[in-house]
């Protein structure tokens, strides 16, 4: 897509590469070699368009080989975080006056640059968070989509908004930005969610302090560098990595922070929401929190389902990127009449999944993100062994990296711990349902409500599920992962977050407020 607004084409999703094309494969291999040669670089805190020296640093390491440092990233102190907020607050006074078309142009230019460097960005995700080639490319394709889609959306929202005429008055309704935003993204979609959250805030006229996950701080540094490369004014996007314990609460509670955009765990999200609800001295607003907090997602397999298709959908949804997706299938709820056949076919499908260093295209699954995750997931596997029957996986693979086998535990009760608690790893619980109504009852029995799928050939079941299966993203006869920007606005209910829909037509409204302007005429 051209970066010029005048020649703007309609939004279109990027096509995710399968790497079956020899040219794509060769380009990815070259990118891996190039990025490998640049590992270990230092990335400073960045405030007001300038590098800032720090006393402490964060080592982002390769989860496939933790002895390999991907990059050494500056760790902001509390004082430096507060300075970044002050800078963003000053920059907001000029940035909010920049025309929406000009703000959108920065995003279009950024999308074009990432397209040109796509394989290198893919390669960085392979090294930094252990994504397979395809998973990495899907992440970067989604980042490009977010940049393009939100730029398009800002242009749409900047147009004259419909309003009911009032005799004797000229009335308008416009959207204006909020102010300084704290953007706190996760590591699992280290390109897409990080860049999507930050770009949504920026294109709507806000300024940002970006505190990335310590597990994926290097790609966030790349994004900040890229946004300055396209000419984003100093102070609009400030880069302040650091530990949540040291600077997290200070950022969220700061009186000049107008909103917090967060994606991560339920526990941290609730803490942010509670802290943001407190009014600090000098604060003039009620802070807005946009939070996506995970899920406990299920795929229901009805008695009449295409079993082979359901097995494939469950396996890919459960074990793509090692199950480290808030949309991952962590529970398969299967009708009793086909349960045994489903389990046997699932075991056979999972046995074909390869685990190993994701720089090798042959490996479907890479490592989990860090040692803490490895220990937590392994503990859940031990719990699961007492709550059901282990039929696949359950073991660590090798000793150098954080690799786990795809793990399937069957005959699990609907209220078991591994049925209720978010594990965020390659562990699938399989639950037997006594009919379709029972399956829906089980589907709805968690505190979350993010994604879900139903495999059935019965239109009546589909119509019932449309109403009764309670989740933000519901899919029929397809996997529960892989939401496309624009096509599948993404976000869930209950403890899955604040019901925001990233990549949807109302998402940017979360970063703005409406202003009515009336003038008496005649």
Catalogue the active-site residues: 292, 326
* Residue 264, both tokens: 């991560």
What sections of 117-216 are H helices per DSSP?
118-129, 133-157, 192-203
Spatial contact of 350 and 392, defined as CB atoms under 8 Å apart:
yes
Spatial contact of 241 and 217, defined as CB atoms under 8 Å apart:
yes
Spatial contact of 427 and 380, defined as CB atoms under 8 Å apart:
yes
CA 162 – CA 155 distance, rounded (Å): 15
* Residue 61, both tokens: 């390491």
Closest CA to 327 of 482, 145, 455, 136: 482
3-state class of 163 per DSSP? coil
Contacts of 143 (CB under 8 A, 6+ apart): 114, 121, 191, 192, 195, 196
Contacts of 168 (CB under 8 A, 6+ apart): 520, 521, 522
3-state class of 125 per DSSP? helix
3-state class of 457 per DSSP? coil
Spatial contact of 149 and 485, defined as CB atoms under 8 Å apart:
yes
Neighbour-count burial for 450-470, b at 16+ CB within 10 Å, e otherwise: bbbbbbbeeeebbebbeeebb
Closest CA to 443 of 420, 459, 426: 420
- Tokens 């069957």 belong to residue: 410
CA 160 – CA 165 distance, rounded (Å): 13
């Amino acid at each position: 897509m051209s970066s010029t607004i005048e020649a703007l084409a309609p939004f279109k999703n990027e096509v995710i590469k399968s790497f079956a094309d020899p040219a794509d494969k060769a380009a990815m291999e070259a990118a891996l070699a190039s990025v490998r040669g640049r590992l270990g670089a230092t990335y400073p805190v960045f405030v007001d368009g300038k590098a800032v020296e720090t006393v402490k640093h964060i080592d982002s390491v390769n989860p496939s080989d933790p002895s390999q440092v991907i990059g050494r990233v500056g760790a902001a102190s509390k004082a430096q975080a507060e300075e970044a907020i002050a800078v963003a607050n000053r920059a907001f006074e000029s940035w909010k006056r920049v025309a929406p078309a000009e703000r959108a142009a920065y995003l279009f230019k950024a999308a074009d640059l990432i397209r040109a460097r796509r394989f290198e960005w893919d390669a960085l995700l392979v090294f930094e968070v252990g994504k397979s080639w395809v998973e990495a490319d899907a992440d970067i394709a989604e980042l490009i989509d977010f940049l393009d889609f939100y730029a398009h959306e800002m242009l749409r929202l900047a147009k004259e908004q419909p309003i009911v005429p009032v005799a004797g008055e000229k009335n308008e309704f416009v959207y204006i930005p909020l102010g300084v935003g704290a953007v706190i993204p996760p590591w699992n979609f280290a390109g897409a969610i990080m860049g999507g959250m930050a770009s949504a805030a920026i294109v709507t006229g806000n300024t940002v302090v970006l505190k990335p996950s310590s597990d994926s701080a290097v790609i966030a540094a790349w994004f900040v560098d890229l946004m300055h490369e396209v000419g984003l004014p100093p102070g609009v996007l400030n880069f302040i990595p650091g530990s949540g314990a040291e600077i997290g609460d200070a950022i969220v509670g700061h009186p000049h922070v107008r909103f917090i955009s967060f994606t991560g765990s339920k526990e941290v999200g609730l803490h942010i929401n509670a802290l943001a609800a407190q009014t600090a001295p000098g604060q003039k607003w009620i802070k807005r929190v946009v939070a996506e907090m995970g899920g406990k997602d299920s795929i229901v397999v009805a008695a009449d389902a295409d079993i082979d298709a359901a097995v494939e959908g469950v396996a890919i949804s459960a074990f793509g990127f090692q199950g480290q997706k808030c949309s991952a299938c962590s529970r398969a709820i299967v009708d009793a009449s086909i349960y045994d056949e489903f389990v046997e076919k699932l075991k056979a499908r999972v046995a074909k999944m390869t685990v190993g260093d994701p720089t090798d295209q042959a490996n479907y699954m890479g490592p989990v993100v860090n040692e803490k995750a490895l220990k937590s997931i392994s503990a859940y596997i031990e719990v699961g062994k007492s709550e059901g029957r282990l039929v696949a996986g359950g073991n660590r693979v090798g000793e150098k990296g954080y690799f786990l086998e795809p793990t399937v535990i069957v005959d699990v009760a609907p209220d078991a711990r591994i049925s209720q608690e978010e594990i965020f790893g390659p562990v699938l619980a399989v639950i037997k349902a006594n009919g379709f109504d029972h399956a829906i009852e089980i589907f709805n029995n968690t505190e979350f409500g993010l994604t879900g799928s139903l495999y059935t050939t019965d239109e009546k079941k589909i119509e019932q599920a449309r109403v009764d299966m309670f989740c933000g993203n519901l899919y029929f006869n397809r996997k529960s992962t892989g939401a496309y920007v624009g096509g599948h606005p993404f976000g869930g209910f209950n403890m899955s977050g604040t019901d925001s829909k990233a990549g949807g037509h109302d998402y940017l409204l979360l970063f703005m407020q409406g202003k009515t302007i009336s003038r008496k005429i005649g």
